[in-house]
Structure 1
């Protein structure tokens, strides 16, 4: 009996080891897989106004929510089972990336070596116009390495690798080109595309990326707010009741508050028109 127990335990150990090998090898192949997405050459401005506008756009598009208010990098998740999610310091990235490689990372979710980025909102950033992408790159180029910059590196734990293999953790690779050359005069749909769509769908509810809350459809939200209340929502993240809205409150305080009055009015008009279609 003892001999059979030992054999059973050895067999179980062998199965576990084999499963771990498959888990690591399969997920590693996914992580190291190359993606053939062409780079786009942009003309990067160097004037102070363009750099400042790039910094503002980096707030609106959420870049500074993940990479830090000053682009110094952050650790968003650090869990032994899931892994570590650590958007890097942008000044350090800029030292090794060309302008075209930065464009590809921002709009298509592909690293310099062709491997995939994760948790980059490329479904939204893909709509950034060429001139605005160039302004954001100009802002990134203006950053200087600081002693306080994060040096943490993204890594994947066993559960993170299992989710990757199961298709539950998707890459941010977005090879399609959906952007236009110049920022449109009417910023309504444009801001929705480059920013709001990172969390919201236009006409349907969907779970947040972390699963903590249900994110309502944008058009329905706009229909429920008159312009003064919508303006307060975009600036503070708070509804008329003053209730903390979680991710929306964080998004407004983090970046949406820099939207101009005209931009907020155009967003509201666009979303009200979309709500009327339903």
Structure 2
């Protein structure tokens, strides 16, 4: 099914339905294209791999942002070592649910409780909707694009629209998160989410922040925002990714590393080689 441009609530489009849109580029797809290649991006779409670590993230998103578990199925096992536990886990996935052991939900519940002590984070989640999907088209290429917001605040044209995105992490220390932001190309995500609203004409003054929370006690959290220069870099990278995506959609060719690229050895390799030559 192809969705018309517009906003859709979580009840209208499930998470699985959203991710099933293969010919509609998302922020994660743009990151994959620029971080790896078009070929890697298409392979990942054709061969999705589920990681158990995603389950805890899903559970945390639901409890923190929605106040309840929507897809979590609690399994009454000590671990997944038995055949019965493994079958129950498999059945939960088949039902479109997120299997979780009761013991693993202790941290999730602790995170949901602790986040309430962060006044800045809670202010960002006061009014709005979780898991809102947006479908739109790029003005320059006509490529079909999509975005799924963790939380889309109520849109007031007289107030700046500040969009939060919830991330779980080993540390919520802003300096450490800055490194993660570069590694995981969060600058592309931030620009993508902002530009979705701008392109759709839903608001003219948009900002984007990350609510970052640690996964272990004391479940510390922080609210961080990338600089305007970071956002602009992400925006330009997204533009390249969209053009690449559009071209591959038209040609059916999804290259990995085309052409011949000249590289240079690391400086330390030259130092090592010169030292060996001098020693000889």
TM-score (norm 1): 0.25
Higher strand share: 2
TM-score (norm 2): 0.25
